Every structure is written in structure tokens, then in C-alpha cells.
């Protein structure tokens, strides 16, 4: 199936595997790419050297195009951009809007720039700055999310911008792909569905919690970092929501220190990143501090398998996913379902003939 997304990126199918922190590593990204999707490597939880190593590992596993997801507000963003350019990565994706200068730098180097947005005005801004495409995520999506449903947000963005639009939030099968195409999207992006595949390195116990979840078990909370975050409701989430302010901030300080050790960042670099984050989102200092909770609480579950100590970001589709296919099986199934749905749609028929005008009374 050829769309504006496949022509832009070189992927065989109009499907994007999103850059999920601690989840979208070389194994998953290369498997998605080899199966024909656009795999996106998550770099926010990697040091600069780890990113270069991961990019080279993906390149050694696949000849298909892939991308790297970046934090635009990171102090070392330009250093990471240089790795993307030097290593010949096809796509750079951003969860937050990058600067116009960063977009120009990447495009001048032949890198496709895709920005994730949650509002029409954000899509308009990055498109005006030169972004090649946008991923628009509705409120059904996992992780940080908004409150507008994909079915409402997607057509707004399609109508507002002249670049390919990729639909995210609530997609997991071929019916969703066809629906997105009908709205005018060039493809779909999926996170939770790829997290629940055979090549995902998420521990089996955590995958089991996802598979056991119902739609009603997926909630949105601000207790992790002060921003709306969609995840599976657990006892830990309940505990975070009932914690007092002092206890919450103390936990955030500990997590900030732990993340500094893992990332190799200095305290001064973390402060600079915090300043950039505060400016970009107009956050209070307490919210900036709470942001350190997110990577560490996700790591506890996604890497260490501690569902009691970590949070599990999840789109609402987690409540309807029941299996762990390989990426090849998943993408083959999505494309087969899409073909079946398209083939079953009723053919357009000519409009009915108008009724003849009424005869006048004698």
C-alpha cells in the first residue's frame, strides 16, 4: 500500500512503530523495520554514546529505513542530531516541537523530520517551520496525552496542514488503518501494539499485566509528573495519587539523582534541560522536578519487570489486545485486514434519479 508516508520515508507499509522510552530499542526497531513498518528508536533514555551504539546496532540488523526519536529540549539535542546525520538515519522524530533551526539543519542534511503533536495549532506551527510530516495523537494514546479524541483531532489537523499526517491513539489493527486513511491520514502510528509483540524486550510479567487489562483498567493521571499521562491503573498509581506534596517531591528528587547516574548527565546539564522544559511548557518548578519521576518509574516496569514499583504507560487499545505476535505477523495481519476491509466496502453507486415534479391539481 503506497501512501504519502511510504513515499516520504521509504517504508513498505504506512505503519509507524513509535519511539517508546525503555521499550523501542534496537531489537524491536529492527524487527519492525524488517517487517515493513517505520521503526523509531527511543533516545531520550540513552546517553549520547549509547545512542550511537544503538543506531549502529539497528543498522547492522536491517537495511530498511528507520528513525530516531529526540527530545527537542535536551541540552545535547544538537549532538544527537549530529549522530543521526553522521550515521545516515532516515528519519528524526520529535515528541516536542523542535526549533525552526533544528528542522532546517536536519532537512539540509537530507533527514526527514516528523513531529508529534496533540493539537491543531501545534501541527500548523511545525508545518510552517518545515516539518515533513506530523504524527497527531488523540486522547486514546498512551503516555503523555491530551483530552481530544483521535476521531475529532485527526480531521482537524488533516484539513489544517499540507504535509502528510500520521494518526496515533487507538490504533491496533487493519480496520483502524482504513479508518485513518478515510479521514485523510497517510498512515498510522502504534505504540502499545508494538510493545506487546514477541520482539519487545519488556519483561513477560509486565506484558501479562497489559494483556490482562480491560479498557476500564486504563486511566489518565497527573500524579506521576504533573502532566496528563495515560497508563494502567495499579496500586502504585493509587498510592501516587494519594501521596502528599512533600512526599511526592522527595520521591522526585531521588528519581532525578538516579536518572542522572543512568544518563551520565551532570547536575548542571539537568538544570539546563529543566530550564528548557520549563520555558517550553510554562511549567512550575515543582512540575519540572516531578518530570524526573517518569523515566525512572517507567524503567522499573519496562526494564526491571517491577509492576509494583513502576508505571505502565498504555493506550486504551491495551484493553482489547490479546496476543503477542511477532512484528512480521502483526504487520502482515494489519495489512491483510486492511485489504479485506477495503474490499468489503460497498461500491459507490450513481445518485438516484430525482423525483419528477408533482403534477398540478386540475
What integer pLDDT is reported at residue 30 of this predicted model? 98
Mean pLDDT over 124-151 rounds to 97
What integer pLDDT is reported at residue 261 of this predicted model? 60
pLDDT digits (tens, 9 = 90+) for 201-260: 999 999 999 999 999 999 999 888 788 999 999 998 888 788 766 665 666 666 566 555
Whether 351 shows a pLDDT value over 80: the answer reads: no
Biggest alpha carbon–alpha carbon distance for the chain: 95
The strand pair at 229-232 and 218-221 is best described as: antiparallel
The whole-angstrom separation of Cα 217 and Cα 239 is: 16
Q: What count of residues does the chain have?
A: 362
Band of pLDDT at residue 141, cut at 50, 70 and 90: very high
Band of pLDDT at residue 278, cut at 50, 70 and 90: very low
| 266 Cβ neighbours under 8 A, 6+ residues apart | 260
The total of other beta-carbon atoms located within 10 Å of residue 183's CB is 18
SS3 of 246-292: the string is HHHHHHHHHHHHHHHHHHCCCHHHHHHHHHHHHHHHCCCHHHHHHCC
Does residue 80 contact residue 51 with C-beta atoms inside 8 Å? Answer: yes
pLDDT digits (tens, 9 = 90+) for 256-266: 665 556 555 55
pLDDT digits (tens, 9 = 90+) for 177-205: 999 999 999 999 999 999 999 999 999 99
Whether 173 shows a pLDDT value over 80: the answer reads: yes
Domains in the chain: ranges and CATH: 4-201 (3.20.20.70), 206-302 (no CATH)
217 to each of 168, 214, 234, 295, 323, how far by Cα in Å?
20, 5, 8, 22, 18
The total of other beta-carbon atoms located within 10 Å of residue 267's CB is 10
Judged by average pLDDT, the poorest of 11-20, 33-42, 206-215, 280-289 is 280-289
Amino acid at each position: 500500500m503506497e501512501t504519502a508516508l511510504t513515499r516520504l520515508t521509504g517504508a513498505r507499509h504506512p505503519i509507524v512503530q513509535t519511539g517508546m522510552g525503555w521499550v523501542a530499542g534496537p531489537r524491536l526497531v529492527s524487527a519492525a523495520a524488517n517487517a515493513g513498518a517505520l521503526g523509531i528508536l527511543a533516545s531520550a533514555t540513552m546517553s549520547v554514546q549509547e545512542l550511537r551504539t544503538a543506531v549502529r546496532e539497528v543498522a547492522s540488523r536491517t537495511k530498511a529505513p528507520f528513525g530516531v526519536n529526540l527530545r527537542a529540549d535536551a541540552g545535547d539535542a544538537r549532538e544527537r542530531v549530529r549522530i543521526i546525520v553522521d550515521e545516515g538515519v532516515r528519519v528524526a522524530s520529535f515528541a516536542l516541537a523542535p526549533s525552526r533551526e533544528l528542522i532546517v539543519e536536519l532537512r539540509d542534511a537530507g533527514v526527514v523530520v516528523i513531529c508529534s503533536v496533540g493539537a491543531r495549532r501545534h501541527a500548523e506551527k511545525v508545518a510552517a517551520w518545515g516539518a515533513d510530516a506530523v504524527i497527531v495523537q488523540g486522547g486514546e494514546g498512551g503516555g503523555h496525552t491530551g483530552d481530544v479524541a483521535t476521531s475529532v483531532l485527526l480531521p482537524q489537523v488533516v484539513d489544517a496542514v499540507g504535509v502528510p499526517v500520521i494518526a496515533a491513539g487507538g490504533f491496533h489493527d487493519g480496520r483502524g488503518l482504513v479508518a485513518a486513511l478515510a479521514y485523510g491520514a497517510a498512515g498510522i502510528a502504534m505504540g502499545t501494539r508494538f510493545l506487546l509483540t514477541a520482539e519487545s524486550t519488556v519483561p513477560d510479567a509486565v506484558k501479562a499485566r497489559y494483556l490482562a487489562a480491560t479498557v476500564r483498567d486504563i486511566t489518565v493521571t497527573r500524579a506521576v509528573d504533573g502532566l496528563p499521562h495515560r497508563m494502567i491503573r495499579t496500586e502504585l498509581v493509587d498510592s501516587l495519587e494519594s501521596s502528599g506534596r512533600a512526599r511526592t517531591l522527595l520521591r522526585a528528587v531521588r528519581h532525578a539523582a538516579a536518572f542522572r547516574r543512568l544518563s551520565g548527565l551532570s547536575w548542571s546539564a539537568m538544570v539546563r534541560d529543566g530550564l528548557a522544559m520549563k520555558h517550553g511548557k510554562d511549567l512550575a518548578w515543582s512540575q519540572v522536578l516531578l518530570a524526573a519521576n517518569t523515566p525512572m518509574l517507567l524503567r522499573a516496569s519496562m526494564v526491571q519487570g517491577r509492576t509494583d514499583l513502576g508505571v505502565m504507560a498504555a493506550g486504551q487499545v491495551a484493553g482489547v489486545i490479546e496476543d503477542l505476535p511477532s512484528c512480521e505477523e502483526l504487520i502482515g495481519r494489519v495489512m491483510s485486514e486492511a485489504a479485506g476491509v477495503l474490499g468489503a466496502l460497498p461500491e459507490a453507486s450513481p445518485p438516484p434519479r430525482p423525483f419528477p415534479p408533482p403534477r398540478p391539481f386540475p
